[in-house]
A = this chain, B = another copy of it.
Amino acid sequence: MAPDGDPAPKDPSARAVEPAGSRALPPDAGRGLRSDARHNRHRILEAAREAYRERGIDVPMVAIARRAGVGTATLYRRFPTREALVAEVFADEMAECAGAVDEALADPDPWRGFCSVITKVCSMQAADRGFTDAFLAAFPDSAEFGERRARAEGGLAELVRRAKEAGRLRADFAQADLVLLLLANGGVVTDTRETTEAASRRLVAYLLRSFESTAGAGSLPPAPPIGLGQLYRLPGD
């Protein structure tokens, strides 16, 4: 376990880490709306969630409106941009990710925590086609999203530090390798869900094996300069 796996967080790099998954969104979501409007809002979110899960984030707005049984105007009135809708739909998934990081930090065995958070996030990626897109799409405007991601990044950095300190994670593991893992895992998303999940599980198992420190491990090519924040998967272009 981590030498400072303690109740006394005096380590300077650890002090900034605090629970990141507390609340999904401010509870004012659709607060002052009329009852029918609130109902429609809920149906839109539900429809969008399903559509994104099945067909990715690029599904047309009009398809979501049709699925929800509302007109496109209603959809656009509630969510002026596509990004606004996506951000709201994936807010709780993001919170779940943050929760996974917190859980991992609470685990006395840092390597186990490291593995569990990776497994968790990757399985979410595999189960929900839109999640990968949303996670990697990096909304430039949504402060909510950005802040939560920054927190997750801080927690992950701490987790990496502890796992290295415990000697289970190879010393030349880079923070960017986590992004690498997520990108690679996003690549195995295919059309059928079962296949995707099987592929993801196997890929993660392979990569975790490589991340684990070993005496005779050779050196690696340098880590790519990618971070959770700088990452933009340009859609289409």
Q: Residues of A at under 8 Å CB distance from B?
A: 55, 58, 177, 180, 183-188, 190-191, 195-196, 198-199, 201-203, 205-207, 209-211, 217-218, 220-226, 231-234, 236-237
Is B220 within 8 A of A205, CB to CB? Answer: yes
Given the complex, which residues of B lie within 8 Å of A231, measured CB to CB?
A: 190
Given A206-B211, A207-B210, A211-B206: A198 in contact with B222 (beta carbons within 8 A): yes
Q: Are A195 and B236 in contact (CB under 8 A)?
A: no
Q: Using Cβ atoms and an 8 Å threshold, which residues of chain B touch A232?
A: 190-191
List B contacts of A190 (CB < 8 A).
183, 226, 231-233
Please report the C-alpha to C-alpha distance between residue A218 and residue B210 in the assembled complex, in whole angstroms: 12
Interface contact A223-B198, CB-CB below 8 Å = yes
List chain B residues, Cβ under 8 A from A223: 198, 202
Chosen A-B contacts, 9 in total, with CB atoms closer than 8 Å, are A58-B236, A177-B206, A184-B184, A191-B232, A198-B222, A201-B221, A206-B211, A209-B217, A209-B218
